[in-house]
């Protein structure tokens, strides 16, 4: 009986020690995990605004670069990230998050357009559940770079369309992902929709957004 009680007490003590150690580890790394997650999103925003982040930058350095070159405002419940020139006052572009249904789940995208709203600066699909090697290729540079410098000439709310691989693309056409028709179709639909909504909002509220962003320089995503 005593041996059994000792075993129970020992297991309870061991569980308590392990639980405490895990809790301490979680508390000790919580700040670092949060900083890394924040820096990752900030790096995506900088990228689509054509503000390159050096490959050797730490999460803290990325955050410092972000805070010096990007400001944030909100309009119609949508966050707008305003990229600034080195003077910290002149807008060079605007970035916004676009979300839509993919084939296996939601796709999260960040889009940057230039300050005159004439061209796409960059695009990054930073979170998705698409099939690796197929729809998951939307994250590859070979795919996203097709959007860089694309003119924002919308006709009927359509700014771009996907063409089959190998077809000669026009100024508003990009190569679809081979073998990932459903992902391509869904991206084309929701991204055109989000571009149309954002550009309409920006054209009606540009000065208000810029003024609000410059007055709130310490906001973070």
Residue 188 pLDDT grade (very low, low, confident, very high; cuts 50, 70, 90): very high
Would the pLDDT of 54 be above 80? Answer: yes
Contact 153, 172 (CB under 8 A): yes
The per-residue pLDDT of the chain, averaged, comes to 84
End-to-end CA distance of the chain: 59
Element (H, E) at 94: strand 91-101
CA–CA dist 70, 92 (Å, integer):
10
Element (H, E) at 120: strand 120-127
Would the pLDDT of 18 be above 70? Answer: no
Question: pTM for this structure?
Answer: 0.80
Would the pLDDT of 52 be above 80? Answer: yes
Q: Is 58 exposed, middle or buried (0-12, 13-18, 19+ CB in 10 A)?
A: exposed
- Write out pLDDT tens, residues 85-126: 998 889 999 999 999 999 999 999 999 999 999 999 999 999
- Please provide residue 217's backbone torsions phi and psi, each rounded to the nearest 5 degrees: -70, -10
CA–CA dist 196, 137 (Å, integer):
24
The structure tokens listed for 111 are 């889009």
CA–CA dist 99, 114 (Å, integer):
20
* Distance (Å) of CA 66 to CA 41, 121, 199, 214: 10, 17, 23, 14
């Amino acid at each position: 009986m005593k041996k059994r009680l000792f075993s129970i007490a020992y297991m309870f003590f061991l569980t308590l020690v392990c639980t405490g150690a895990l809790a301490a580890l979680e508390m000790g790394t919580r700040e670092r995990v949060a900083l890394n997650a924040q820096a990752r999103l900030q790096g995506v925003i900088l990228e689509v605004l054509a503000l390159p982040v050096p490959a050797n930058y730490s999460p803290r350095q990325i955050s410092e670069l972000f805070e010096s070159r990007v400001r944030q405002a909100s309009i119609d419940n949508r966050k707008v990230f305003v990229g600034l020139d080195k003077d910290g006052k002149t807008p060079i572009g605007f970035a916004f998050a676009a979300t839509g249904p993919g084939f296996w789940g939601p796709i999260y995208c960040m889009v940057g357009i230039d300050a005159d709203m004439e061209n796409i600066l960059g695009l990054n699909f930073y979170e998705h559940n698409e099939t690796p090697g197929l729809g998951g290729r939307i994250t590859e540079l070979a795919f996203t770079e097709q959007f860089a410098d694309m003119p924002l000439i919308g006709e009927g709310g359509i700014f771009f369309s996907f063409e089959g691989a190998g077809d000669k693309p026009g100024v508003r056409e990009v190569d679809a992902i081979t073998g990932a028709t459903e992902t391509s179709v869904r991206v084309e639909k929701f991204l055109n929709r989000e571009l149309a909504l954002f550009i309409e909002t920006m054209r009606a509220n540009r000065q208000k957004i810029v003024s609000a962003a410059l007055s709130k320089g310490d906001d973070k995503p």
